[in-house]
Chain A
Amino acid sequence: MARLELRDVVKSYGIYEAVRGIDLEIEDKEFVVFVGPSGCGKSTTLRMIAGLEHITAGEIVIGGQVVNRLGPGKRDIAMVFQNYALYPHMSVRENISFCLEQQRLSKSEIASRIVRAAETLHIEELLDRRPGQLSGGQRQRVAMGRAIVRNPKVFLFDEPLSNLDAKLRVQMRTEIKRLHQILPTTTVYVTHDQVEAMTMADRVVVMKDGLIEQAGPPQVLYHRPASRFVAGFIGSPAMNFLDARLEAEADGLSVRLADGRSLPVPPGRLCAYASHAGRAVTLGLRPEALSVRQDRLGFAKLDADVELVEPLGPATMIYFTLAGAALCASIDPEAAPKAGQSLPLSVNMNQMHLFDADTGLSLLK
């Protein structure tokens, strides 16, 4: 168990900078998830922590020790790979014991640790099988067994669930969380799936173009995204974006959309946005901020010509076009219209987000 620090870490391949200076402190026992689109540098960062990639500049500190020059085997870390990376010619038992043999532990110690790990992951009956005889979920468990058997300072997960089917993915997600509760160890988990990030993390780190876009607890990222990129990446279905202009009115502020429609800024947000009046902005509205018409303070009105209806069970998604932008609203299934119908909607402006049209940064400080 240990604290992990990244200090201005850079990784270049020739002139291409994959990671452009990352500063991050991960507390002992914290579960941090790196999330972002392909090529954002999240896997490279993980591999640098593991020691599988040399770092071009900066420092990586594990448990107070700078590990820049230490090989992967000496960093006291364990990693679960995307394709499991189990040794195909060895039995599950041999796969799990391999790392312990490298540490030259006694045979009795190795045996007892294997039993403990197997019990934790419920793989006792698989110990004498080869990886080729296991299902995807079982292989994933064995890969985790290989990681936990060493009692490492840091666990690293590199998109471990992306090869599993949807149902198994949800199940293994819960198992990894359960495992972290049983064995609270500093964990860095990389994924491109924002649902995994939101459900598992103590803290989510959103990366883009080799930089950290925002780091924080899942709820903070969801409700207070620092940029349009984070707002669009976190949440499913994604946030709706509309080009607009923030205008000063006699009695406050309003957001004027491209089609001339004006949505009033609620009194609670006036202070925060007052200094930005007159600027081109992007209005961000999550699908759940749009609901079937209700007259409440801070709610704006609009009519939607429904183009597509997606019943999901607990909620129904409706898709329509407003001011030239495709929008999605999450509404009560009881009130769901049919495609082609018109539906009066309310917009909860208390949940609105405004981003600078040029920089994409949130106007909320």
Chain B
Amino acid sequence: MERIRRIPAQQPLSERLSFWGFALAGLVAALIFLMPVVWSLANSFKPAAEALAHPAALFSKSFSLENYRRLEGVGAGWYVYATNSVLIALGTVALTILVAVPAGYGFSKFRFPGQSALFMIVMATMMIPFQSILTPLFLILKFLKLQNSLTGLVLIYVTFQLPFSIFMMRNAFDAVPRALIEAARIDGASQATILRRIMLPIALPGVATVAMFAFLNSWNEFLAALIFLSDQNKFTLPIMLVNVSSGIYGIIDWGALQAGIAVTMLPCILLFLALQRYYVRGLTAGAVK
């Protein structure tokens, strides 16, 4: 705030105008991006009759939780799907971090034969379209007796999350000076201690970024969840949304759908707001010395 107040006062008119022009353009862009979120939230609190009213109004005079109540009647109830989504997302985040952090550390700070080739191969897997290997993945999960299980789905998500996460963590560790590791080695710390007590706290923005991407991707993923899960009690929120939107007799229950969307997007927004400070720092780590 201090900065916004001070800058126009000190600058010549042309610069002040360009500053306010920039601020206005930013505000308009922000409103455009915010609109669907606000629209969806507002609709989710409207009574069912008003959801399809013409002309459409952004806010209704009457406030109702009816749409959220109706979500409970969808399949096994929204909280079952939400719980599944939370379990899968947390499992994906935990396992991704558990593998990506040591892998990124290894690629960043150790030199071993075939290192570049191995890293290239790991990165190259990002180029494979997920849809093209659905069948072999299904067969592998079946062989491991993990089809129709949340654990199986977590493993699939982690696999697809890892290349980007390893890349991110390698960059994050690259930004940490080698002298810190050497100082810790002289201090008598083991590699595990160095990673846990020295490197990880410094590379925390990278970990936050990896965690956020893992969470968002697994939380929003639809196709794999639809294919690998067949038991209704194991479905995730995105699948629930489809079930809501293709309701009984093909009639779309817009109000319930908006309520479902609100439930689905809220954790993502909260997580992003909580981690955005780390997220930006994590993405730019290693870009400049």
Q: A residues bordering B, Cβ < 8 Å?
A: 50-52, 71-74, 77-79, 81-83, 85-89, 98-99, 102-103, 146
Contact = CB atoms under 8 A, between A and B. Distances in A.
B202 A89 contact: yes
Contact of A87 (B182, B185, B188, B198): B198
B207 to A, nearest CB: 13
28 contacts: A50-B182, A51-B185, A52-B185, A52-B186, A71-B185, A72-B182, A72-B185, A72-B188, A73-B185, A73-B189, A74-B188, A79-B183, A81-B179, A81-B182, A81-B183, A82-B179, A83-B179, A85-B177, A85-B179, A85-B180, A85-B183, A87-B180, A87-B183, A87-B198, A89-B201, A102-B187, A102-B188, A103-B188
Contacts of A52: 182, 185-186
Contacts of B177: 83, 85
A73 B184 CA distance: 8
Contacts of B202: 87-89
A101 B185 CA distance: 13
Contacts of B179: 81-83, 85
Contacts of A79: 182-183, 186
A185 to B, nearest CB: 15
A362 to B, nearest CB: 38
A51 B187 CA distance: 12
A271 to B, nearest CB: 51
Lowest 9 CB-CB distances: which A-B pairs, in order?
A73-B188, A99-B187, A102-B188, A85-B179, A85-B183, A89-B201, A72-B185, A72-B186, A81-B179
A236 to B, nearest CB: 29
Given A81-B179, A85-B179, A50 B188 contact: no
A156 to B, nearest CB: 8
B193 interface: yes
Contact of B186 (A78, A86, A87, A89): A78
A102 B193 contact: yes
Contacts of B183: 79, 81, 85-87, 146
Interface residues of B, number: 16
Contacts of A87: 180, 183-184, 198, 202
Contacts of A73: 185-189
A85 B201 contact: no
A71 B188 CA distance: 8
Contacts of B187: 73, 98-99, 102, 146
Nearest to A76: B188
A25 B180 CA distance: 29
A136 to B, nearest CB: 16
A70 to B, nearest CB: 11
Given A73-B185, A77-B186, A99-B186, 13 more contacts: A50-B186, A52-B185, A72-B182, A74-B188, A81-B182, A81-B183, A83-B179, A85-B183, A98-B184, A102-B188, A102-B189, A102-B193, A103-B188
With most chain A CB atoms within 10 A of its CB, the pick from B184, B188, B197 is B188
A13 to B, nearest CB: 12
A155 B216 CA distance: 50
Interface string B163-192: 000000000000001011011111111000
Contact of A85 (B182, B188, B189, B193): B182
Contacts of A74: 188
Contacts of B182: 50, 52, 72, 79, 81, 85
A99 B183 CA distance: 9
A130 to B, nearest CB: 12
Given A87-B198, A88-B202, A89-B201, A99 B188 contact: yes
A99 B182 CA distance: 12
A83 to B, nearest CB: 6
A101 to B, nearest CB: 9
Nearest to A47: B182
Question: Which among B180, B184, B186, B201 has the greatest number of chain A C-beta atoms within 10 A?
Answer: B186
Nearest to A80: B183
A86 B187 CA distance: 12
Interface string B217-261: 000000000000000000000000000000000000000000000
Contacts of B198: 87
Contacts of B197: 98
A78 B185 CA distance: 10
Nearest to A75: B186
A18 to B, nearest CB: 17
Nearest to B200: A89
Contacts of B189: 73, 98, 102
Contacts of B193: 102
Contacts of B184: 87, 98
Contacts of A71: 185
